[in-house]
Structure 1
Amino acid sequence: MKELINYILQFGQLNQQQIDLITSKATELELRKDDYFSEAGKIPRYIGFVVQGVFRFCYYNNKGEEITNNFVEENSFVGDYARFESNVASSEYIQAVTDCKLLVFSKKNWDELLNTIVGWDKIVAKIYQKCLLEAIDRRSPLVSEDATTRYLSFIERFPSLANRVPLAFVASYLGITQQSLSRIRRNIR
């Protein structure tokens, strides 16, 4: 719980009563590897803060291929926030890549925080903006760089993920085949 509060306090000030309210609304959730936190076609039920583990965002393209488009690890929020807020079905999956522990907020509890804590909406907007900018910063180079440079950038941005995430997910995220990724990894050793 301490990690969650420390993270939130980076984006705004809260008094002890507000902190106590936030902690009272968060519940612990454990997911096993390969479980879904959120699924395409369903309304997201939670917004979560990752205490332990790694998640990936993925979807299926028009050829039926599974595409990984983002990873989220410890000390970050995870969820399809826009669809959670607007109560509409998600268009992608959020899957646990490892066993995961989270602190989650239901829509009801999240709305109670929004309606009770003065300035909570501003804190949430800053957190959401940070998450969006990080996702854009991670994806932008993938369009213009060659495969080896994309992999080296991935290692630089996600130093702990290379050994925690299956190569198939990394290859999909980089937009290359698993065979190409294996060749690149061999060549840079």
Structure 2
Amino acid sequence: METVINYLLQFGNLNPQQIDFITKKGRELSFNKDDYFSEAGKIAKQVGFILEGILRVCYYDNKGGDVTKYFIDENNFVVDLHSFENKIPSSEYVQAVTNCKLIIFSRRDWEDISDTIVGWESIINKIIKKSLIQKIERRSPLVSEDATTRYLAFMETYPQLVNRIPLSYLASYLGVTQSSLSRIRKSIC
């Protein structure tokens, strides 16, 4: 829980009582590789903070192809925010790419924290803003650059992820076939 609290403190102040309250609301949960944190067609019911591992946000296109939108790694919150906030079924999956350990907050506990801690909304809004900026920074180059440049940029920006993500997921994220990504990797080495 200390990792979660340290992360939250980057975005606002919490007194010892508030920290204790938050600490009592979270519980550690493990996910095996390929397990789903949340699923399309279901309402997201929890918020997680990743202690160890990588998750991906993905969906299936109209041809049944598995498309990875982005990856979320350690020291980040994970939630299908649209589904969670609006209590509507999700259109995406959040899946463990590796074995993961998370601190989980149920909807009820998350709402208790929100209702109890003055300034909580401000902290969460700053976290959401940071997350949205990161999402835009991740996606923008994918639209305008060639595949090799996208792969090199991914390696430079996320060196800690490159060897931990299956090639098929990385290819999907970069918008190339797995065989194209293999060729790109061979040409670079």
Q: Does 1:166 align with 2:166?
A: yes
Identity of aligned residues (%): 59
Counterparts of 2:133 and 2:89 in 1: how far apart (Å)?
23
Any residues of structure 2 matched to 1:146-157 within 5 Å, and which? 146-157=146-157
Query: 1:123-168 CA deviation, whole Å, 9 max, x = no partner?
Result: 0111111111111110110000000000011111211111111000
So what's the TM-score if we normalise by structure 1?
0.98
So what's the TM-score if we normalise by structure 2?
0.98
Instruction: Find the counterpart in structure 2 of residue 100 from structure 1.
Output: 100
Query: 1:2-49 CA deviation, whole Å, 9 max, x = no partner?
Result: 111111000000100001111110011110010000000000111100
Counterparts of 1:83 and 1:21 in 2: how far apart (Å)?
25
Instruction: Find the counterpart in structure 2 of residue 118 from structure 1.
Output: 118
Counterparts of 1:64 and 1:141 in 2: how far apart (Å)?
25
Classify the secondary structure of the residue corresponding to 1:161.
helix
* Residue identity in the other structure for 2:43: I
Instruction: Find the counterpart in structure 2 of residue 176 from structure 1.
Output: 176
Counterparts of 2:23 and 2:157 in 1: how far apart (Å)?
30
Structure 1 segments unaligned to the other structure (5+ residues) = none
* Residue identity in the other structure for 1:129: K
Any residues of structure 2 matched to 1:1-189 within 5 Å, and which? 1-189=1-189
* Residue identity in the other structure for 1:95: Q
Deviating beyond 4 angstroms after TM superposition, the runs of 4 or more aligned structure 1 residues are: none
Counterparts of 1:47 and 1:69 in 2: how far apart (Å)?
19
> Shift of the alpha carbon at 1:88?
1.1
RMSD: 0.7
Structure 2 segments unaligned to the other structure (5+ residues) = none
Classify the secondary structure of the residue corresponding to 1:176.
coil
* Residue identity in the other structure for 1:138: R
Counterparts of 1:134 and 1:63 in 2: how far apart (Å)?
29
> Shift of the alpha carbon at 1:82?
2.4
Counterparts of 2:159 and 2:79 in 1: how far apart (Å)?
22
* Residue identity in the other structure for 2:83: R
Counterparts of 1:181 and 1:95 in 2: how far apart (Å)?
22
Classify the secondary structure of the residue corresponding to 1:131.
helix
Counterparts of 1:121 and 1:128 in 2: how far apart (Å)?
10
